[in-house]
Structure 1
Amino acid sequence: MKVEYDNLTPLYDQVRHLLLRDIKEGRFQRGSYLPSEPDLCEHYDVSRITLRRAVRELCEAGYLKRVHGRGTLVTEPKVEQTLVSLSGFTESLTSSGHKVRYAVLDSAVQASSNDAKERLKATGSDQLVGIRRLLLVDGRPLTLEDLYFLESRHGRVAEPVSKGGSFNQALKSLYGEEPKAAERAINVDFPSAAECELLACTASQPVYRIEKLVLGKGRKPISFSVLITPCDRVTYSISS
């Protein structure tokens, strides 16, 4: 599709919109390079000046990246997450306009994680519920999560969460509880072979490995998670 010269929308904005549509529809796939400038100018029926402004704006938005000596690479904007937010992934990403879903990979009562039991302050008789799930954002793997909570305290959330539901939403609807605080420890690591397969990344790509303890009223532990996210897919910010 070419630009419309009788349209009041500026030409560069029309080209930006058409390029973005072609990226999202897969005409220009992530990881590939755009055609040459002359070819794109002919395709959209615009000048190089107009095309370059549209490309520059898409580079600034994170959809494209100029690679010296190679051309313009089709990329994908990083997902933005605020570290101090108490919102769950589902809530915060959905509110940003993303399509979010969880693919549950495994669910078990009596999960074995001494670290999780210690962080949740479990007693000898407490059973640990463990759920491994993959967060997909706009159809793309973003985060692998191992989520733990105690069956004696919040066992009823296991069923809805095991079906792909939001932990925070289930917690509120079934127990009337909401997170009051969260503690996070962030490290940069390299993924294992199994993690590479699930996250569709390579062993040389660094990942964020985050341990997250969610606390309720009176700083009572609610859940403990280990979250693994490729560094090139997310930007973490802190506001104060």
Structure 2
Amino acid sequence: MKLNNSISTPLYDQIKQSIMDAIDKGTYKQGEKLPNETEFCEFYGVSRITVRRAILELGEEGFLERKQGKGTFVTRKKIERELVSVDGFTDFSKYLGKTPSKRILVCEEIKATSKIAETLKIAIDSPVLRLVRLMYINEVPFTLDEAHYSLERFPRLTEHFLESASTYEAIKKVYNVNLNTCSSHKTITVTPATGLEAEYLTCEIGDTLFNIEKIVFDENKIPIHTSNFKTRTELIALTITT
């Protein structure tokens, strides 16, 4: 790979960005050993000093870890997520300066079970949208999310959210719900990844996942939706501001 010598960005910074892009795209995965300095020198066409500086700075920033006698490994700095925030995934990703995307796995109308009905404060068997999505940050699988919305409160929600960048955007614009005044209740546990979860989140079966159950309420304390999302514990640090 040829670096650009005609721009003001130092070569070691270009190498840092190249390695970070590879980590974000999954070319270098969590826990994976990186090529050695000699291989990087040949790949980028630079000196060992330049490569070493890039590796050292990425290590200081928490993205890489040097293990004596073994090599350099990807650690991936955790993304901090504020627990009390009710921002949607799209807004959260853009706030971090990263590119969000999503893959819809399930989008179906079901009848409310007793648990869903109690949570959403609706009648049992009333129509509910069940939405299961795999959320990505910079093309890397980040969260597996299952949400439920009352279709009596939000009729034709399916077609509206498909036309919007995010579900929250559709709810705000189409149904005039003021999300700035919303609140939420979260229950957080840690669970082992099932086979299907491991496949979607590119981890091993049994790896620990944050399991976060959330209910979002409007300004009148009426539930907007329920959500259950899972993410790998090594990718995120959950924070609380008091």
TM-score by length of 1: 0.84
Deviates further, 158-167 or 55-64? 158-167
1:33 corresponds to = 33
What per-residue deviation string (whole Å, max 9, x for no partner) do you get for residues 130-171 of structure 1?
111110111111111110011111133222335674111011
Give 5+ residue unaligned stretches, structure 1.
none
| Alpha-carbon distance between aligned partners in 1 of 2:105 and 2:156, rounded to the nearest angstrom | 19
**Deviation for aligned residue 1:30:** 0.9
| Alpha-carbon distance between aligned partners in 1 of 2:190 and 2:164, rounded to the nearest angstrom | 27
Query: For 1:152, what is the secondary structure of its paired residue?
Result: coil
* Residue type of the alignment partner of 1:156: R
When residues 28 and 89 of structure 1 are mapped into structure 2, their CA distance, relative to the original with a 3 A threshold, is closer
1:208 corresponds to = 210
**Deviation for aligned residue 1:235:** 1.9
When residues 51 and 18 of structure 1 are mapped into structure 2, their CA distance, relative to the original with a 3 A threshold, is closer
1:64 corresponds to = 64
**Contact residue 206 and residue 231 of structure 1 kept, 8 A:** yes
When residues 68 and 29 of structure 1 are mapped into structure 2, their CA distance, relative to the original with a 3 A threshold, is farther
When residues 164 and 210 of structure 1 are mapped into structure 2, their CA distance, relative to the original with a 3 A threshold, is farther
**Contact residue 15 and residue 54 of structure 2 kept, 8 A:** no
| Alpha-carbon distance between aligned partners in 1 of 2:4 and 2:224, rounded to the nearest angstrom | 54
| Alpha-carbon distance between aligned partners in 1 of 2:127 and 2:8, rounded to the nearest angstrom | 64
Query: For 2:152, what is the secondary structure of its paired residue?
Result: helix
| Alpha-carbon distance between aligned partners in 1 of 2:219 and 2:88, rounded to the nearest angstrom | 17
| Alpha-carbon distance between aligned partners in 2 of 1:169 and 1:182, rounded to the nearest angstrom | 17
Q: What root-mean-square deviation, in Å, do the aligned CA atoms of Structure 1 and Structure 2 show?
A: 2.8
TM-score by length of 2: 0.83
When residues 102 and 38 of structure 1 are mapped into structure 2, their CA distance, relative to the original with a 3 A threshold, is closer
| Alpha-carbon distance between aligned partners in 2 of 1:53 and 1:198, rounded to the nearest angstrom | 35
What per-residue deviation string (whole Å, max 9, x for no partner) do you get for residues 20-52 of structure 1?
31452589931343333355467554454x644
Equivalence map 1:50-129=2 (5 Å): 51-111=51-111, 113-124=113-124, 126-129=126-129
1:236 corresponds to = 238
What per-residue deviation string (whole Å, max 9, x for no partner) do you get for residues 57-78 of structure 1?
2123343222343111134443
| Alpha-carbon distance between aligned partners in 1 of 2:60 and 2:155, rounded to the nearest angstrom | 45
* Residue type of the alignment partner of 1:185: T
Give 5+ residue unaligned stretches, structure 2.
none
When residues 140 and 8 of structure 1 are mapped into structure 2, their CA distance, relative to the original with a 3 A threshold, is closer
When residues 232 and 111 of structure 1 are mapped into structure 2, their CA distance, relative to the original with a 3 A threshold, is farther
| Alpha-carbon distance between aligned partners in 1 of 2:217 and 2:26, rounded to the nearest angstrom | 44
**Contact residue 142 and residue 231 of structure 2 kept, 8 A:** yes
- State yes or no: 1:139 paired with 2:139: yes
Which of 183, 186, 211 is the matching residue for 1:184? 186
When residues 164 and 188 of structure 1 are mapped into structure 2, their CA distance, relative to the original with a 3 A threshold, is farther
| Alpha-carbon distance between aligned partners in 2 of 1:197 and 1:164, rounded to the nearest angstrom | 28
* Residue type of the alignment partner of 1:20: Q
**Contact residue 177 and residue 216 of structure 1 kept, 8 A:** yes
